[in-house]
Amino acid sequence: MPRVVAQQPPWIARGSAGHQLFQNDERAKKPTTKSAHYDGPTRKVAHRGTEIFAAVGSELRWADVNALEGSPPGGQGDDGKQYRLLKTTISRPIQQLSVSRSGDYIAILTSHTCHVGLLPASSHLHSADLSPLRLKTFQVGPTAHVLEQAPLKSAIWHPLSPSGNCLVTVTEDACVRLWELDSNNRSTFDEPSLAIDLKKLANANSTQEDFSASKYGISTGFSPDNIEMQVAAACFGGHGTDDEHGWSSMTLWVAMGEGDVYALCPFLPSKWRAPATMLPSLSTSVVAKMRAASGDSGITAAEKQVVDQQCTWLAELDNQDPVLQHGEDEFDTVEVYSRPAKPGPVPKLQGPFYMSTELESGDVTDIFVIASKVDDDAVYDEESEEVGADDGLSVGVICLATSSNKVHVCLDLDGVEAEWLPPKRSRSFTPDDDDVPKDLLLFETIDLSGQDPSGSWPTFTASPIERYEILVTTRSGVYNLDFTHWTTALEADLASDSDAGVDFRLKMLLESTKTAVAQVITIPSDHERNVNAVVAICDPASVGHVLFTAAASTPFATVLEIPIHLAHAYAPVDFTSAGALPAPEPRAPYEPPEAFFQPSALPQLLKVAAEKRILGSDLKAQVRFSPATLQLMTDAHRIMSSETHRLGLAAAELFRRCERMQAELREQVRRVNEIAQKVDVVVGAEEDVQHGDDDNSGAPQLTGGKEKIEHRIQQSQDKTRQLQAQVDTLRAKMLSLGGKQLSAKEKAFTREVETLNRSLEPAEASEAPTEPAAILHMANSPSSKREHEQEKADSLTGRFDAVRALRKQLVHQVEDLAAQRRGAEGKTGSGEGEGRGGGVMAMSGFRSRKMEVVRELLERETALVEGVGARLERLRAGS
């Protein structure tokens, strides 16, 4: 439910351009002909986008909301007005206005007559010239809608008309006429393309009977249906969108004053457009019904006839080649079909629909229907793109308003489908075979009576924002009814595959879930009986979301909050104010009552008395006691008493407002004092704390609010440090649970292994230097070679290579010494002297011992090198 942003904006205040739009003048007050009594809905305000069309008496006026908001008081128009007068040939008071879906026509209804005016383009009306403009008008049904015939109750535009200019009029005597208007063909305004008398249709047995509306001048006899079937209002079951069920937009709902509800389906013009989901959804449902009927032996003849007629109707549509026509968008196209000739253009009258309980709350004044959503699962495959009908009810919602300001919310569980009368009456057919009961489940009754229990004519207005949101206009104001909450919960139960406990859940839903009701416009009780049906304008790019109505020449308006999904498309959302304090409930400013501005009738009475010489012209003559003087005094007293009474009531209202403002101001002051005391307690401005006799005087020291706050901040900081220390301790304990920490020696060994691993890795080839300093110290220079060799020799790799080279050198030396020894032993003979032989043997023993020592050293060095190599391999594998 949208939030109220402002009530009674300044541009409709007294003296402003918005107030002048509805102000009566002498021309509008005095119609040229005597007006008949009117008992019906009052819809004297219509709109086309942000343009407003208002009826004041017999005048039709035009203005734009953008211009009304930005214009100062006074203005520059004709006679200081900010509106434009659209002159017509209508001489009777206008009761209803309705702009066509295309925006080209406007239907102007009096109590009995209907006129259609050709609206100029918006650019032409927005010109700087606000002089009166003559509007070309045609009278619709010059012989059908006249004073001698029944009064008009509804004039609605067909939602499936390709041009948007197909008008449906419904009179009180239950006659429905379809007018396919064409400004180039005058006959389309004189004779309807389809006229049906619902009383005759209700008693008809076949399509061969005559159920056309009665002609002008033909008298009809009395029938009980003349009382029971007096129409109160009519509407279509849908708006012709893709997310609605196929039969909804072609169903005309008619509500009777006594509470009966009837339906005509399909009710179509000769050329009609089909939304994208209509024919697929209808084909799917009809084919499923046909298959079920073929396998069901218990189906009745009436049900079999309905299925056969629907199949025939759809078969003719399938054989047509639709005509492509531009839609509302230039890139959008719609398919236009011709109305099938069979089973016939006139459908069967379905109803009356019986309520679950009797409605004893006054006569019905208006009807509003919310279509059920289309079944996407039955129309599209899983891979196909859906049309966004996930939100909504799979059953229709029917709302009935009564004269006692009560709204009955009903559910159409069975749904309305196309039905026709049989082509001829069968001999074996009995009336009981066709008597299939149709029910409506009463979900909730909403009481909007307040201080006005009866005597008004409530009307419905569709919300331009939400599908399950409607506006109700009563004598006391405008109410917003939001069904979103309980429709979501109800659809969850209806879509459930399990039927276990569904009765209990629905019972709890009916008892606990209610419709959200909010009064968005309040109308004082001193206005006329019938208030204009509210007009809802939503244009986020300019005026926003505005509700507009009028009563007794006084406009009333409310500005509502624009939903986020619409506001995002035009302006960024201000997130800075998300945490701000909630704004107070907006209140309408004080509007001076009409009693303060109405001229007194006493001067006119004195003028008449002076003309008749009852009193002197200067009112100073001697008063003569006579019957004429007594009558004059009586008339003057009557006038003065009534006028002073009205002024007294208006002054009392102002006094009460001032008293209420004083009481509210005192309440606000009290709340501010409470907040101030709480702030003082927080900052400690009123606390006295004695710290001790630190000074010589011994007087107590006062701790101000700043010192106390700083002390609290210091305590908070100390507490934060303690908590941080505890967190660090807990973190260390948690880390220790995963394994023991490394000791200092293990950390040092780890660093040594990493260093050894880096030193054993082959050096990467460095890139050629490009800097001048690097070029002077290139690697191939003698100094650079010496430095590089020295670094390599000091490294572990260099040392390891040196050990290997030493081992290889020693091995070669041992092999050379062994070869020399074997050669010396071969050359020595057996006859040599003993002394020489002893010397050689002594030398050989010394060398053998030296070789043993060298061999041991080599073995130890070899073992050491192999051990180091194996350890390096293990370290490299471990890393």
Place of tokens 């290579």: 801
Find the DSSP H helices in 591-743: 602-611, 627-683, 705-737
Select the highest-mean-pLDDT range: 175-179, 430-434, 750-754.
175-179
Q: Specify the pLDDT at position 826.
A: 66
Q: What is the pLDDT of residues 249-296, one digit of tens each?
A: 999 999 998 889 999 999 999 999 999 889 988 998 888 888 888 877
Residues β-bridged to residue 482: 469, 516
User: In angstroms, rounded to a whole number, what is the distance separating the alpha carbons of residues 569 and 538?
Assistant: 13
- The pLDDT assigned to 608 comes to 80
192 close to 178: Cβ distance less than 8 angstroms: yes
Is pLDDT larger for residue 829 or for residue 181? 181
Output the pLDDT for position 178. 96
Nearest to 264 by CA among 253, 249, 248, 278: 253
Q: Let me know: does 369 contact 237? Beta carbons within 8 Å.
A: yes
Average pLDDT over residues 660-686: 81
Tell me what pLDDT residue 131 has.
87
pLDDT score recorded for residue 93: 92
What is residue 699's predicted lDDT score, i.e. its pLDDT? 47
pLDDT of residue 579: 42
* Residues 260, 199 contacting (CB under 8 angstroms): no
Three-class SS state of 498: coil
**Starting from the edge strand earliest in sequence, which strands make up the sheet with 137-140, in order?**
96-99, 105-109, 114-118, 137-140
Query: Using the 8-state DSSP alphabet, how is residue 186 labeled?
Result: T
Task: Report which residue type is found at 128.
Answer: A
Radius of gyration of the chain (CA): 50
pLDDT of residue 684: 60
* Tokens found for residue 576: 């800075």
Q: Is the pLDDT reported for residue 852 higher than 60?
A: yes
**What is the mean predicted confidence (pLDDT) over 501-523?**
80
Contact assessment for residue 322 and residue 279, using Cβ atoms and an 8 Å cutoff:
no
- Using pLDDT thresholds of 50, 70 and 90, give the confidence band for residue 85: very high
Using the predicted structure, report yes or no on whether residue 333 has a pLDDT greater than 90.
Answer: no
In angstroms, the CA 707 to CA 711 distance is 6
Decide if pLDDT at 689 tops 70: no
Q: Is the pLDDT of residue 803 over 50?
A: yes
Residue identified by tokens 């011994």 is: 698
Overall average pLDDT of the 436-458 stretch = 78
| CA–CA dist 312, 341 (Å, integer) | 10
Q: What is the mean pLDDT of residues 794-809?
A: 76
> What pLDDT, on a 0 to 100 scale, did the predictor assign at position 762?
54
CB atoms within 10 A of CB 619: 10
Predicted confidence band at 755 (pLDDT cuts at 50, 70, 90)?
Answer: confident
Averaged pLDDT, 495-520: 76
On average, the pLDDT of the chain sits at: 79
| Whole-number pLDDT of residue 690 | 43
| Residue 702 confidence (pLDDT) above 50 | no
How far apart are the C-alpha atoms of 842 and 820, rounded to whole Å?
Answer: 16
Could you give the CA distance from residue 338 to residue 350 in angstroms, rounded to a whole number? 24
Reported as a single tens digit per residue, the pLDDT across 105-157 is 999 999 999 999 999 998 888 887 788 999 999 999 998 898 888 899 999 99
H helices of 295-426, where?
A: 301-318, 376-379
Q: pLDDT tens digits for 349-359?
A: 998 998 766 66
CA separation, residue 40 to residues 96, 109, 172, 255, 404 (Å): 10, 11, 10, 13, 14
pLDDT, tens only, 627-653: 888 888 888 888 889 889 989 988 888
Least confident of 390-404, 737-751, 777-791, 807-821: 777-791
Helix (H) or strand (E) holding 848: helix 834-878
Close Cβ partners of 421 (under 8 Å, ≥ 6 residues apart) = 204, 205, 206, 207, 344, 346, 348
pLDDT at 247: 93
Q: What is the DSSP string of 254-316?
A: EEETTS-EEEESS---SEEEE-TTHHHHHHHHHHHHHHHHHT-TT--HHHHHHHHHHHHHHHH
Whose tokens are 């649970």? That residue is 737
The confidence score (pLDDT) of residue 776 equals 39
* Residue 468 token pair: 């399950």
The tens digit of pLDDT for each residue in 156-200 reads 999 999 989 999 999 999 999 999 999 899 999 999 999 999 999
> Is 180 strand, coil or helix?
strand
Task: Quickly state the pLDDT bin for 844 (edges 50, 70, 90).
Answer: low
Instruction: Specify the higher pLDDT residue, 326 or 725.
Output: 725
How far is 28 from 54, CA to CA, in rounded Å?
12
Q: Are 521 and 547 in contact (CB under 8 A)?
A: yes
Provide CB contacts within 8 A for 558, sequence distance 6+. Answer: 4, 6, 7, 8, 478, 520, 521, 546, 547
User: In this predicted structure, which of 19-28, 56-65, 492-501, 821-830 has the lowest mean pLDDT?
Assistant: 821-830
* 372-390 exposure pattern, b = at least 16 Cβ within 10 A, e = fewer: bbbbbeebbeeeeeebebe
* Pairing relationship of beta strands 133-134 and 84-87 according to DSSP bridges: parallel
pLDDT (0 to 100) of residue 749: 82
Q: How far apart are the first and last CA of the chain?
A: 68
Work out the number of other CB atoms within 10 angstroms of the CB of residue 631. 12
The pLDDT assigned to 782 comes to 54
pLDDT score, position 862: 82
The helix-helix angle for 744-760 and 796-827 (nearest 10°) equals: 70
Longest dimension (CA), the chain: 201
Residue 799 has pLDDT above 50, yes or no: yes
383: pLDDT strictly greater than 50: no
- Side-chain-side CA neighbours of 866 within 13 Å: the count stands at 6
Give the pTM.
Answer: 0.72
Q: How far apart are CA 355 and CA 405, in angstroms?
A: 18
Confidence band, pLDDT 50/70/90 cuts, at residue 835? very low
What angle (nearest 5°) sits at the alpha carbon of residue 577, between those of residues 573 and 580?
155
CA dihedral 214, 217, 223, 229 (to 10 degrees): 50
Where is average pLDDT lowest: 490-504, 628-642, 697-711?
A: 697-711
| Region label for 103, one of left (φ > 0), alpha (ψ between -120 and 50) or beta (otherwise) | left
In which residue are the tokens 């495959």 written?
A: 381
Average pLDDT over residues 447-463: 79
Angle at Cα 560 formed by Cα 159 and Cα 94, nearest 5°?
50
Higher local confidence (pLDDT), 842 or 827: 827
